[in-house]
């Protein structure tokens, strides 16, 4: 076992010099530990992968490198213009390194960029959605079956429902009584799982599966999109889920754990910007059925993540990190309020999809 300081160990692995060596946290990721490693000459991003969430980090890196290769070929043919997050090998030519049993990788640092935690304007939402749209369009001819399911059934609502019912039945931490209203609400919404399972004419695609605003980088100088990042959950899925997750994370003016439920709602201008931004790069490939299925995505994603927060609450907060006892329940109420507002605004939001 090594007891070298981490920075020195990482520098040795990835070929940086010890002169002027610095290791600092970067960004605001919730899953992995992400840092910037610098010597006098170069800077790279190093990431300790969360092996509780991703038990098979080799497959995760392999998935990301397959995508990286495909996007690089597109870029060579001028069919993809965003920057590509490339993995950097160790001096031994490996793309995953072991330090005291923990798994580390290095990525090219995209300088001159910034990430946002909260959407500031409709313009910004459109830029982000367009970046995820360009990413999806460039992958439309990538065989999604090549991707290993790093988290099986990630967006399988029927499976999430079964897991939830099991936790309600077991009530391991005696929280069912406190969440009765939310549980009853859930039981009334399970038709959504059937709607998703019965989708027709909507193809499985290589999806990003974590299309939050902080998973893309903006150019510091021009504020245009610079790169789509965080390919950890890229797996086969439906574009409706990537769209729905943008709606979930961009449309409400409140954070997902805000208790100001009055203000948890879908901002129409942001929704419209997302539709425009995402659909435009997909236009040559998307069918009308697939585009209309985005409505289901807008409903499913806030509901599904709310259901997952509730499941975790009933299970004793094992999956999502929580800062206080009722944190998951607060998130449940927030996400269900958003879901209800999506449903409430059905006609106006749907008309935006129909107008494309």
Residues in contact with Mg ion by the rule CB under 5 A = 29, 31, 215, 230, 232
CB-neighbour burial class of residue 3 (10 A; exposed 0-12, middle 13-18, buried 19+): exposed
Measured N-to-C along each axis, helices 294-314 and 157-170 cross at an angle, to the nearest 10 degrees, of 20
Per CB under 6 A, the segment of 8-16, 30-38, 235-243, 317-325 that binds ligand ATP is 30-38
Q: Please answer whether residues 52 and 43 qualify as being in contact, where contact means their C-beta atoms are separated by less than 8 angstroms.
A: no
> Please, what is the minimum distance in Å from the beta carbon of residue 245 to Mg ion?
12
What distance in Å separates the CA atoms of residue 220 and residue 208, rounded to the nearest whole number? Answer: 24
Q: What character string, x for contact with ligand ATP (CB under 6 A) and - otherwise, covers 258-297?
A: ----------------------------------------
User: Given the complex with ligand ATP, which of 249 and 340 has the nearer CB atom?
Assistant: 249
Measured N-to-C along each axis, helices 294-314 and 239-250 cross at an angle, to the nearest 10 degrees, of 70
Q: What character string, x for contact with ligand ATP (CB under 6 A) and - otherwise, covers 31-60?
A: xx-x----------x---------------
Residue 85 binding: pick among ligand ATP, Mg ion, none (C-beta 5-8 Å cut-off by kind): ligand ATP
Candidates 229, 240, 300, 349: give the one binding ligand ATP (CB under 6 A).
229
Applying CB under 6 A, does 215 fall inside the site for ligand ATP?
yes
Phi-psi category of 168—alpha, beta or left, where left has phi over 0 and alpha has psi -120 to 50?
alpha
Q: Please answer whether residues 82 and 228 qualify as being in contact, where contact means their C-beta atoms are separated by less than 8 angstroms.
A: yes
Pairing of strands 33-38, 87-88: unpaired
Applying CB under 6 A, does 63 fall inside the site for ligand ATP?
no
332 to 18, 181, 301, 302: CA distances (angstroms): 47, 11, 12, 9
Q: Please answer whether residues 313 and 172 qualify as being in contact, where contact means their C-beta atoms are separated by less than 8 angstroms.
A: no
> Please, what is the minimum distance in Å from the beta carbon of residue 18 to Mg ion?
29
User: Given the complex with Mg ion, which of 232 and 257 has the nearer CB atom?
Assistant: 232
User: Given the complex with ligand ATP, which of 48 and 280 has the nearer CB atom?
Assistant: 48
User: Given the complex with ligand ATP, which of 39 and 108 has the nearer CB atom?
Assistant: 108
Q: Please answer whether residues 16 and 37 qualify as being in contact, where contact means their C-beta atoms are separated by less than 8 angstroms.
A: yes
Per CB under 6 A, the segment of 29-37, 244-252, 280-288, 336-344 that binds ligand ATP is 29-37
Q: From the centroid of its chain, how far is CA 331?
A: 17
Measured N-to-C along each axis, helices 57-76 and 122-138 cross at an angle, to the nearest 10 degrees, of 90
Residue 275 binding: pick among Mg ion, ligand ATP, none (C-beta 5-8 Å cut-off by kind): none
User: Given the complex with Mg ion, which of 96 and 202 has the nearer CB atom?
Assistant: 96
Per CB under 6 A, the segment of 15-23, 28-36, 201-209, 322-330 that binds ligand ATP is 28-36
Residue 115 binding: pick among Mg ion, ligand ATP, none (C-beta 5-8 Å cut-off by kind): ligand ATP
Contacts of 83 (CB under 8 A, 6+ apart): 110, 217, 226, 227
List binders of ligand ATP among 233-262 (CB under 6 A): none
110 to 43, 281, 298: CA distances (angstroms): 9, 23, 31
Q: From the centroid of its chain, how far is CA 296?
A: 18
> Please, what is the minimum distance in Å from the beta carbon of residue 229 to ligand ATP?
5
List binders of ligand ATP among 109-138 (CB under 6 A): 109-110, 113, 115
Candidates 68, 126, 232, 245: give the one binding ligand ATP (CB under 6 A).
232
Number of residues that bind ligand ATP (CB under 6 A): 24
> Please, what is the minimum distance in Å from the beta carbon of residue 216 to ligand ATP?
8
What distance in Å separates the CA atoms of residue 10 and residue 47, rounded to the nearest whole number? Answer: 10
> Please, what is the minimum distance in Å from the beta carbon of residue 211 to Mg ion?
10
Residues that bind ligand ATP (CB under 6 A): 26-32, 34, 45, 85, 107-110, 113, 115, 210, 212, 214-215, 217, 229-230, 232
């Amino acid at each position: 076992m090594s007891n070298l300081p981490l920075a020195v160990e990482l520098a040795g692995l990835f070929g940086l010099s010890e002169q002027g060596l610095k290791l600092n946290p970067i960004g605001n990721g919730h899953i992995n530990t992400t840092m910037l490693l610098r010597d006098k000459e170069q800077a790279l991003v190093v990431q300790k992968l969360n092996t509780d969430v991703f038990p098979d980090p080799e497959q995760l890196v392999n998935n990301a490198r397959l995508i990286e290769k495909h996007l690089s070929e597109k870029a060579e043919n001028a069919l993809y213009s965003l920057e590509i997050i490339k993995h950097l090998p160790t001096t031994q030519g490996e793309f995953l390194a072991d330090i005291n049993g923990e798994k580390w990788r290095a990525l090219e640092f995209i300088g001159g960029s910034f990430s946002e935690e909260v959407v500031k304007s409709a313009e910004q939402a459109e830029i982000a959605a367009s970046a995820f749209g360009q990413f999806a369009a460039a992958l439309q001819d990538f065989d999604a079956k090549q991707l290993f399911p790093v988290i099986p059934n990630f967006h399988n609502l029927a499976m999430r429902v079964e897991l939830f019912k099991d936790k309600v039945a077991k009530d391991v931490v005696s929280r069912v009584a406190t969440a009765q209203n939310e549980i009853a609400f859930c039981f009334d919404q399970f038709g959504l799982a059937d709607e998703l399972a019965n989708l027709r004419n909507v193809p499985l695609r290589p999806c990003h599966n974590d299309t939050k605003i902080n998973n893309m980088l903006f150019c510091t100088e021009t504020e245009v999109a610079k790169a789509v990042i965080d390919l950890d959950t890229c797996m086969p899925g439906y574009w409706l889920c990537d769209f729905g997750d943008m709606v979930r994370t961009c449309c409400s003016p409140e954070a997902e754990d805000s208790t100001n439920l009055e203000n948890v709602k879908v901002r129409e201008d942001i929704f419209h910007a997302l539709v425009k931004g995402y659909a435009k790069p997909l236009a040559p490939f998307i069918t009308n059925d697939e585009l209309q299925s985005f409505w289901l995505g807008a409903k499913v994603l806030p509901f599904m993540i709310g259901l997952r927060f509730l499941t975790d609450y009933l299970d004793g907060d094992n999956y999502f990190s929580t800062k206080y006892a009722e944190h998951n329940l607060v998130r449940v109420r927030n996400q269900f309020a958003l879901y209800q507002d999506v449903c409430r605004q059905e006609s106006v939001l749907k008309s935006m999809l129909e107008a494309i």
